[in-house]
Amino acid sequence: MLPYEACNLGSINLAQMIMYEDGVSKVDYEKLKKIVHISVRFLDDVIDMSKYPLDKIRKMVDGNRKIGLGIMGWADMLTVLGIPYNSEQALELAKEVMSFIQDESKIASRNLAEERSSFPNFKGSIYDTPEGYEIRNATTTTIAPTGTLSIIANCSSGIEPIFALSFVKNVMDNDRLIEVNTYFERAAKQEGFFSEELMEEIARKGSIEDFESIPSYYKRVFVTAHEVTPIWHVRMQATFQEFVDNAVSKTVNFSNSATESDVEDVFMLAYRLGCKGITIYRDGSRESQVLQVEGNNKGGTKTESKEEDEKQNIKPRPRPDITKGMTRKYSIGDCGKIYVTVNSDELGICEVFTSTGEEGCAALSEAVSRLISITLRSGIDIDSILKQIEGIRCITCIADENTHVLSCPDAIGKAIEFYLKGSNKFDLNIAGGPKSIMICPEEGCGGIMHPEGGCYVCRNCGYSKCS
């Protein structure tokens, strides 16, 4: 997008674009064509009906009239058609479906241009050539994050694989319900292997691979995000990108054991295949509260794992010889100034230390920073640490109107938070830690945040956050 442009996005639920002939499922292209043309007209109308906070935004939006029609429910469509997500057949269908949507969206926009004229900035655009044509919208397609939309539509998000076939959902009065993927539940009931106990066990393990009662056909078709290798994630994104004007939102899932080299390989592959952007998620890499996913404890139960953890003393990882970081200076009232240095290694923040003038409380600040350092290298959640130190008040700081921190510990917390908001947002990993999940920040929810299309979505309450 150009400066001062605004998003105008819509997504077609592909799971609803399926027809049956003689009991065989296939893509309903007539229905899809109709929906594409209606959607293009609708999104073009949105431009005229919307109000914008700045005249510059209004001018840019009216001038280019960009719209972003995309899709969701892709993984659901594949399961209904009996096509594994990580297969060449899926890539071929992706080309077929997205090229169809791209072509029909352009035809719809050209029809609108005949009716309403082309976009005002048409002259000098890529369409303004002898071979070009009048068109209403400068762009017509985008595959956006559809976390909240997909919850409302009860379908898979964007072009993402199914995140989980069965998972626990928290409801009122701390009750827990087992939420099962609609299409998996339907297949399980049709084939006769559905049971509440099995669905609960799948939610606990996170995969259907090891269940002998489930036919191998369904194990191939109903693959989840963590069973799809990073290479297949990128190949799928690149296939769609070929037929999309703007960017394609997609998350590449990595295991906790992924290395920098693994990430580099995926970024370079995405670049070579023509992706406009790439988002990766490495399990355990978020600087938020984490829970262990039981499905990754090979050969042990949750109770056994917990008992073993309690028997072992937590030991911090060693401090490396070389670190990188930054130093921030804060005024601490009559005590002068405090300099807070935050350093990190390849696994995240590994140490914090402070320096104060002669009037500052050097001993206290050094003790706090040492404790924080050893806690960080022990894998303790950074948010939990910040909650303990930020907001601590000292009369010396509060009494000085030119001081912007509440105390030395508060200054340390603010320095760490400042560092996190910089370029190290994804650097906080639990060394050798288990697979982990992010917890929804909404009060009283406690649901799991799923990485989808560059965003994080809670399917328990609908909260979403894009980073």
pLDDT at position 265 is: 92
pLDDT at position 465 is: 73
For residue 116, give every residue at least 6 positions away whose Cβ sits within 8 Å of its Cβ, in sequence order, or none: 44, 136
Domain borders along the chain are 9-153, 166-221, 324-420
pTM for this entry: 0.64
Beta bridge partners of 452: 455
In the block, which residue shows the tokens 């799948």? 202
Q: 141 with 249: CB under 8 angstroms?
A: no
Per-residue pLDDT of the chain (467 residues), as tens digits, is: 899 999 999 999 999 999 999 889 999 999 999 999 999 999 999 999 999 999 999 999 999 999 999 999 999 999 999 999 999 999 999 999 999 999 999 999 999 999 999 999 999 999 999 888 999 999 999 999 898 899 899 999 999 999 889 877 665 555 667 888 999 999 999 889 999 889 988 888 878 988 988 998 999 999 998 889 999 999 999 999 999 999 999 999 888 888 999 999 999 999 999 999 999 988 777 654 333 344 444 444 444 445 445 445 778 888 888 888 889 988 888 888 899 999 988 778 889 989 887 666 788 888 999 999 999 888 888 888 988 998 888 888 887 877 878 889 999 998 888 887 653 333 323 333 334 456 566 655 556 667 776 677 776 667 777 65
- What DSSP character marks residue 284? T
Handedness of CA 84, 89, 95, 101 (dihedral sign): negative
Query: Which residue in 283, 284, 319, 289 sits closest to 386, CA to CA?
Result: 289
Residues 168 and 385: their CA atoms lie apart, in Å, by: 28
Tokens standing for residue 122 = 């048409």
CB-neighbour burial class of residue 121 (10 A; exposed 0-12, middle 13-18, buried 19+): middle
pLDDT at position 153 is: 93
Query: Pairing mode, if any, of strands 176-180 and 24-27?
Result: unpaired
pLDDT at position 342 is: 92
